[in-house]
Structure 1
């Protein structure tokens, strides 16, 4: 029979229930098992910060769609229950993330973000001068930097760093001769901010934490890709000591490719180890066989958002979409949503495995075509379940593949990699031709 208005309304409810959003702590649709496969990265980071003395660095990573921003919200809440004062900064609001990054504009952005957060919470800044005004005054003392910003006010500097590639480059070039002073000034402001917050709290030992989100979104485009990725490596490896700030505890979200780009960089930040979120292990260890436990977790996720999902999908069809998503939560939601507008008749429901194939095909086509040399590399990943990175020149390919989920990261006891399930036939067929 034709689609009834009540059925259309139910499809709409499910569609909207799966809209991409960051969950706040305590949200009833949050399912802890998604990101707690034998370990709780958030609890580990919170404990480490609680035990750290005098400030420190923690690193947090994961592919897009694994729930990093939601988990950072949970981390903020957990640290606050431990007595810390916690600030959150989205670096995307302060930096242009598609161009090379240097320690100068990175620290400027972090100090500026901290300044705005403190002002928003307490109504005033340390020393009654915000960082953007302080930074502009610093620029005025250096001839090279003064020429760059002579016509800009403090607010203009922030906006230009975020949106003007030429201005960002000019600041970087001019700052290279004054890195030590710039780092000292940024560190000094951040330390003053910690002491200011402690004064407001009436506790000279209160821990102050800054969560720096969106660092993982720094990525190169086109011919500039390698230069951008190299700049990220240099930031976290060559300038690791500058990323530690006296008195302040900082959590940096980092790109998932950084462990390959700059292995061991965390040791230069006081022994920081990157805690990683991975895709839900819907496959058994290093195989293509479905894992009933992981599939049950994803069914639980859908049930939390829409308890009567079985009226719209058979269990087999939902599991098929789960496996086609590779266990990536955002991709899982997207595949389900792709199925819903195509329903035209009540008799189609619940949707079968055959009925969800058009959505899978649409998602697959978005990832194609793939160059032959990339397909050969992807095929090696399917055989070894490693990144198979042979030389630095291949780093942009790896970063692109992780960013765009052509390759997914799993953990069944230990970490392993595989190509996106929707690409398996394409990759396997390429290998069978002898390419």
Structure 2
């Protein structure tokens, strides 16, 4: 990643790196990594990957499920297959070879179980290249062909033990390669974008199949939706993993209602690294900061959209009006998805700064209506874009009750 644009912020990355490097156990680490959508997790995982590489202790395999699988249809079988495939492809790319016998065994097993063939041309390129081609073709089919996904799942589900055995045998073989052996490197897999799964799919994957996800004998970092952390099943899910880490939103306000000037400076610095601040008024910056709630995606989107608004108005500088137009559009987006039962929960959270239990809360975390922050302890609040909608709704409800009397 381009570190020229990176701004240091409150993040668990340093702790994760220390845990990986110090290694308190001989067993591979299995970590969960979460945060709100748009909070900057991908950037932090890129930093984590770079930091881990510096210590020369891990062979890093990082991939995004958005690029390798269908984000709307993922099961533990798909994920395990992809973990194995990505490990091999990364090793092949770095000229780290496994034995010809194992390569032949893996190819034959994959062809038998997935019904994907290797052409004569691929065979003539060598066993290693042939397997690399096979895994690449498998990945493409798994991503775009629903029928193929179902057929492979049906074939491999009763053979989970065989699949894991093949993956682990390959892991041992790669780690035994002289290129990794000389520095005693172990494999670590970092999986991004699993937090983008819908809530139902995420619960199925991490609650019903978390045992299976920990079976590969290498360290793995899984991203998960923040809403899962607030579910009743989370305690059971976490028991299957070494630990879990949360990337907090950047605080715009403290829990007592005071402005968090230090954290606001972080957002200004992030903006300054991406544009000349002479092109936007200070008032517009402050409005964007306050209405973003510290969510990086929303903050950057506000500025980008306001820039387009300014151009459409033939301005050479972003002004308050340009930001407000974007804010109104984003607020309308929230207004379309929020229901009566949502507002009752939102009102309680806005008053108490505490997240209540229940399925509705999980929806509100998932659609970013509720944001979580950390001081000494965690606290929650309603997204600033929703506050005017909430006040309007509560006022109408109050007037309705007064009229009824």
Q: Is the TM-score greater than 0.5?
A: yes
Q: How far apart, in 1, do the equivalents of 2:259 and 2:284 lie?
A: 14
Q: Which runs of 5+ in 2 are unaligned?
A: 119-133, 399-405
Give 2:265's aligned residue. 296
SS for the counterpart of 2:273 is helix
- For 1:51 and 1:230, locate their aligned partners in 2 and report how far apart those are by CA, in whole Å: 32
Match of 1:16 in 2: none
Contact 2:214/2:240 (8 A) holds in 1: no
Q: Does 1:341 align with 2:308?
A: yes
Once the two structures are superposed, residues 227-251 of structure 1 have per-residue CA deviations (whole angstroms, 9 ceiling, x without a partner) of x23312335xx433651433x2222
In the alignment, the residues of structure 2 paired with residue 267 and residue 280 of structure 1 have an alpha-carbon distance, to the nearest angstrom, of: 28
Instruction: Quote the residue 1:106 is aligned against.
Output: 79
User: 3-state DSSP class of the match of 1:266?
Assistant: helix
**Which ranges in structure 1 are unaligned for 5 or more consecutive residues?**
1-22, 141-145, 221-225
* Alignment-derived partner of residue 187 in structure 2: 208
- Between the two proteins, the alignment pairs up a number of residues equal to 376
Q: Aligned partners of 2:191 and 2:103: how far apart in 1?
A: 17
CA distance 1:348–1:77, shift in 2 (3 Å): closer
Task: Report the TM-score, using the length of structure 2 for normalisation.
Answer: 0.82
Contact (CA 8 Å) 1:290, 1:323: kept in 2 or not? no
Are the aligned partners of 1:279 and 1:327 in contact in 2 as well (CA < 8 Å)? yes
For 1:267, which of 239, 248, 272 is the aligned residue? 239
Structure 1 distance, partners of 2:393, 2:333, is 18
| Residue 403 of structure 1, CA deviation | 4.0
Give secondary structure in 2 for the equivalent of 1:65.
coil
* SS state at 1:360 partner: helix
Selected match of 2:17 from 46, 70, 74: 46
- Shift of the 139–417 alpha-carbon distance from structure 1 to 2, 3 Å rule, reads farther
Residue of 296, 317, 329 corresponding to 2:284? 317
2:371 is the alignment partner of 1:390? no
- 1:365 alignment counterpart: 332
8 Å contact from structure 1 (residues 55, 245) kept in 2: no
Which shows bigger deviation, 346-355 or 201-210?
A: 346-355
User: Once the two structures are superposed, what CA deviation does each residue of 1:43-67 show, in whole Å capped at 9, x if it has no partner?
Assistant: 1111111122342212221122222
Describe the shift of the 1:379–1:258 C-alpha distance in structure 2 as closer, same or farther (beyond 3 A): same
CA contact (8 A) 1:284 1:291 kept: yes
Match of 1:56 in 2: 29
Write the deviation string for residues 12-43 of structure 1: whole angstroms up to 9, x where unpaired: xxxxxxxxxxx43xx2232103xx2xxx4111
Match of residue 3 from structure 1: none
Of 239, 248, 256 in structure 2, the residue corresponding to residue 278 of structure 1 is 248
CA distance in 1, matches of 2:312, 2:397: 45
Q: TM-score, normalised by structure 1?
A: 0.77
How far apart in 1 are the matches of 2:111 and 2:47? 38
For residues 15 and 149 of structure 2, the distance between their equivalents in structure 1, rounded to whole angstroms, comes to: 36
- Tell me, what secondary structure is at the counterpart of 1:212? strand
2:210 alignment partner, one of 227, 233, 239: 239
Contact 1:58–1:250 (CA<8 Å) still a contact in 2?
A: yes
Deviation at 1:204, TM superposition (A): 6.6
Q: Give me the whole-angstrom Cα distance separating, in 1, the residues matched to 2:376 and 2:47.
A: 24
Aligned equivalents of 2:310 and 2:35: distance in 1?
34
> Shift in Å at residue 87 of structure 1?
2.2
- Residue 191 (structure 1) aligned to one of 172, 190, 205: 172
Shift, 1:138, TM fit: 5.0
Question: Which range is displaced more, 249-258 or 185-194?
Answer: 185-194
CA distance in 1, matches of 2:104, 2:291: 47
In structure 2, what is the equivalent of residue 11 of structure 1? none
Deviation at 1:136, TM superposition (A): 5.8
Q: Which residue of structure 1 aligns with residue 129 of structure 2?
A: none
Partner of 1:368, secondary structure, is helix
Post-superposition CA distance 1:303-360 (Å, at most 9, x none): 2333x41x33332321111011111122112111222233369996765545532121
- Equivalent residue, structure 2, for 1:86: 60
2:369 to 378, 403, 406: 406
